[in-house]
Amino acid sequence: MHAHGAHLSCPRIVKGAYEVSQDEYIGNVMARFPEEERNGKTARSARLMTRNLGVVRQHLGRPLTSPAVAGGGMVGERNEASLEVILELTEKAIKQCLAETGVGPRDISAIFLCSVTYWGSPGIISHLIKPCGFNPDVDKTELGSVACAGGATAYAKAFDYIAAYPDRRVLVVAAERLSTIIHGDDTDPMDVTYGGTFGDTAGVSVVSGYRAGDRELVKRLGPGMVITNRQEYVMPDTLKFYHSQLDKRGKGFGSDKRAPDATAEIIPEVRAWMESQGIPDPEWVVLHPGSKRILQVMAKGFGVDPGRNGMLRHSFDSLEDANKGSVGVMDAQSLTHKDPPAHGAPGLMCGVGPGVNFVTLTGFFSHG
């Protein structure tokens, strides 16, 4: 076992206040079609693709029918709503996380925050300094384009920071209002499917330097994953496999049908890296819950049981509550804490997003 690394506290996850069942979402979509077209090819494809996601419900920061979601608001209104929702969820998650770990806001030396659903200046962290009580000179890093790989990327950057400053505390924050991609006039099956994929969520974790046998740290902050290594990998020639676009209606999102297969091509590179570093095969995994298909592709690549009740059970559980974008891997991590691996068990966390960008964190689980 490594003598040092970065300890991740159990993330505090806060979801949007408005729960929307898949049936309610699909009903909203079907109302966009004339009655005579609701059993036509386009409407049937939209229903089938959405039901195949593995999503049971979505949590939204604003009601489904509000202008900032399916009610027809334009880009400016949607962007302002994104900032409002992100700040609501994030401030709550930060305060709860700090209270649970016993870490004061002025004990935090750096904040790594990822969000792809708000554009504006000043950045999100600046809005949080005063209400959350952080030091004005806290180091600030905002990751604004990594999307679904965001949580894992922020952890990777926090790991690097802790390697340089092992006695400091870092806050990793992921926050998304992905319901901004739902538009009330969307009828294309791909647009409808992505509208039914995502939810609005914030996740926060305290990252600290870890030394072998540091029972006092784990006693204070609780059991957690200890990162001892990390890798980022971009698959060549996959820039258009996942992509977002912006028009007067606001953000949209799409993908190429080959996108999940790119993940299958990346994993052999990741496994080769693990072997070169002497990293053991995982006994637990925390994988980005993008969709059932993506989870199954990653499970096959890593040689683990792709079933609903195997090593991926926490990622499947998270997916039922929607793909949370950059927060997704943190949500699966939080569920892993409720059903933790054995002390010292080696494992890995992976995030995948547009690029196609794959981020791998390896280490072990510590109970103290």
Question: Is residue 298 pLDDT above 90, yes or no?
Answer: no
Q: Tell me: the pLDDT tens digits for 8-21?
A: 999 999 999 999 99
Q: Tell me: the pLDDT tens digits for 59-91?
A: 999 999 999 999 989 999 999 999 999 999 999
Q: What distance in Å separates the CA atoms of residue 11 and residue 175, rounded to the nearest whole number?
A: 12
Q: What distance in Å separates the CA atoms of residue 156 and residue 112, rounded to the nearest whole number?
A: 10
- Nearest alpha-carbon partner for 219 in 368, 325, 107: 368
Across-strand partners of 286? 349
Highest average pLDDT, of 211-215, 233-237, 248-252, 331-335, comes from: 331-335
Please spell the DSSP secondary structure of 151-166, one letter per residue.
HHHHHHHHHHHHHH-T
Calculate mean pLDDT across residues 90-100.
97
Extract the tokens encoding 228: 């001892």
pTM for the structure as a whole: 0.94
In this structure, the dihedral spanned by the alpha carbons of residues 314, 190, 354 and 93, taken in order and rounded to 10 degrees, is -50
Across-strand partners of 352? 358
**DSSP assignment letter at 256:** -
Q: Strand pairing of 169-177 and 108-114?
A: parallel
